[in-house]
Structure 1
Amino acid sequence: MSYENLAVEEKSGIIRLTINRPQSLNALNQQTIAELERFFGTDYAGRTDFHGVILTGAGDRAFVAGADIKEFLAVAEQGNGREMAERGHEVFFLIENFHRPVIALINGFALGGGCELAMACHLRVATEAARFGQPEVNLGIIPGYGGTQRLNQYIGKGKATELILTGKMIDAKEAERLGLVNYALPAAEAEDKALQLLQAIATKGPVAIQESIRAINAYYAQGDGYIAEAEAFGRTTATEDFREGAAAFVEKRPAAFKGK
């Protein structure tokens, strides 16, 4: 499984996935989108022998500084803007619905498509140097990879509308205050925090983690997640993991989950 624009490292059950285009501030071109689609939709979609993914950008200047503007211009000339946005939606949904937790480690600019990519991840840890924004209106377009929807979900309609309509950029601490990121930390601490989160999640029931992700996302996908929650609860109570988890609780010992 080789990639042109992604670097993959695996250690102790945690995969570090790096957008590796530092010369372009890791801008999302269509090749990178295609590789993200392959990683989350095919190559790792059926694997259960890992705990989670840390998604980051190469270098110390940018997570993903946006999309490839030259490609945008070509798409505009061809009249394929809607198709481009729909493809981005499909790929980012793969990340949002991935069966293992995906944590964005945001180590610099996360603008436009980069902010949208971070929001598609399950959790976000930012370095204090990180900067966030949806500046598409400066180009005369709007966010097209889910920004108008997910930003609302994380920080509320009023503030999301302000940031999208002004194209304003905010720093990591403001993003943490607003709820856009879970943690904003010094660079030396941010990666440790991402690892700690995945290590903590790794001690829980894998089926329960997958079903929790599915139920949480159902509210936003369907407008009512209660049915999805009840169905997911029913599935988890029928698992070997639940029987093991309950037994471990009664016996006051760590659970040995098998993901079944």
Structure 2
Amino acid sequence: MKYENVLTHSDNGITTITINRPSKLNALNKATIKELHEAFKEADIDKSTRVILVTGSGEKAFVAGADISEFADYSVSQGAELASQGQALLFDFVAHLSTPVIAAINGFALGGGLELAMSAHFRIASENAKMGLPEVSLGVIPGYGGTQRLPQLVGKGRAFEMIMTAGMISAEQALQYGLVNHVTTLEDLMPLTEKIAEKIANNSSVAISAAITAINAGYEDGENGYDEEITQFGKCFGTADFHEGTQAFLEKRKANFPGK
């Protein structure tokens, strides 16, 4: 599928999705959010895709925020609908994909950009990256899951400070906070991300999908993460991947997971 604001590339089980609006610092507008939904959906359905990477084009920004011009004159009901539709279409959608998603943050990740990165299963940043949720400086709050995912990742106090001050933190601060897993040079960002993705791709995609479901359950209201873990653990015993993995271990050979 061809997109106007998104580039996709697949190689060796890894699909890279690049937000491509360099003149707007890759800001998210409605069209881009819709295209990203389709790109993630297409990659998730593709059985050859074992890992999805998401990044921004250029060397300045992952995503520098939302396109404010689109909603500056919205009413209360329109604002609520914007957040509801955006969360369902992209941010929650990404967080609950069965395929692991890694965000490669290659510059500014602000507002909706940081919220997109936080929707990924984990994040890797380049040294020049700056992250923040500046929405209160515009008289609004994060609306794409930022008030929920940021405290889960960095703790309540740090999330309050970041949101209330509307400030940015450096890549190194983000690493200290646990917001990102690794920091590297801009030149090494994609090679490092791809190296980690390759390690993931070597493992059972079925088991990884089950782990995503179990981990997410622990952060959702009304869900018991321990119960979900037991359920998913049991289901693994009925998969071809479990049979292959255990047999390979017993036979002292490398597993060749069928992905089912």
Q: What TM-score do the two structures reach when normalised by structure 1? A: 0.96
Task: Encode CA deviations 1:41-80: one digit per residue, 9 max, x unaligned.
Answer: 3x23422111211100011110000000101214x24740
Task: Encode CA deviations 1:87-139: one digit per residue, 9 max, x unaligned.
Answer: 12112111111121111110100000000000000111100000000000000
Residue correspondence of structure 1 range 16-95 to structure 2 within 5 A = 16-41=16-41, 43-74=42-73, 76-77=74-75, 79-90=77-88, 91-95=90-94
One-letter identity of the residue aligned with 2:56: G
> How far off is 1:146 after superposition?
0.4
5+ residue gaps, structure 2 = none
Whether 1:191 and 2:198 are equivalent positions in the alignment is: no
One-letter identity of the residue aligned with 1:165: M
Aligned to 1:125: 124
SS in 1 for 2:23: helix
Instruction: Quote the Cα distance in structure 1 between the aligned partners of 2:187 and 2:22.
Output: 20
> How far off is 1:194 after superposition?
0.6
Distance 1:107 1:85, change over 3 A: same
Contact 2:43–2:49 (Cα < 8 Å) also in 1: no
Q: What TM-score do the two structures reach when normalised by structure 2? A: 0.96
Q: Which runs of structure 1 show a deviation greater than 4 angstroms over 4 or more consecutive aligned residues?
A: none
Contact 2:43–2:52 (Cα < 8 Å) also in 1: no
Instruction: Quote the Cα distance in structure 1 between the aligned partners of 2:237 and 2:157.
Output: 40
One-letter identity of the residue aligned with 1:177: Q
Instruction: Quote the Cα distance in structure 1 between the aligned partners of 2:187 and 2:2.
Output: 29
Whether 1:140 and 2:143 are equivalent positions in the alignment is: no
One-letter identity of the residue aligned with 1:147: G
Instruction: Quote the Cα distance in structure 1 between the aligned partners of 2:162 and 2:238.
Output: 45
Instruction: Quote the Cα distance in structure 2 between the aligned partners of 1:209 and 1:15.
Output: 16
Instruction: Quote the Cα distance in structure 1 between the aligned partners of 2:201 and 2:26.
Output: 29
One-letter identity of the residue aligned with 1:89: Q
SS in 2 for 1:66: coil
5+ residue gaps, structure 1 = none
> How far off is 1:176 after superposition?
0.5
SS in 1 for 2:9: strand
Instruction: Quote the Cα distance in structure 1 between the aligned partners of 2:62 and 2:20.
Output: 10
SS in 2 for 1:99: coil
Aligned to 1:165: 164
Instruction: Quote the Cα distance in structure 2 between the aligned partners of 1:189 and 1:37.
Output: 27
Aligned to 2:242: 242
Contact 2:111–2:142 (Cα < 8 Å) also in 1: yes
Measured on the aligned residues, the alpha-carbon RMSD in Å equals: 1.2
> How far off is 1:2 after superposition?
0.9
Instruction: Quote the Cα distance in structure 1 between the aligned partners of 2:158 and 2:52.
Output: 29
Q: How many residues align?
A: 258
> How far off is 1:226 after superposition?
1.1
> How far off is 1:40 after superposition?
2.4
Instruction: Quote the Cα distance in structure 2 between the aligned partners of 1:253 and 1:119.
Output: 37
Instruction: Quote the Cα distance in structure 2 between the aligned partners of 1:7 and 1:40.
Output: 11
Q: Which moved more, 1:100-109 or 1:32-41?
A: 32-41
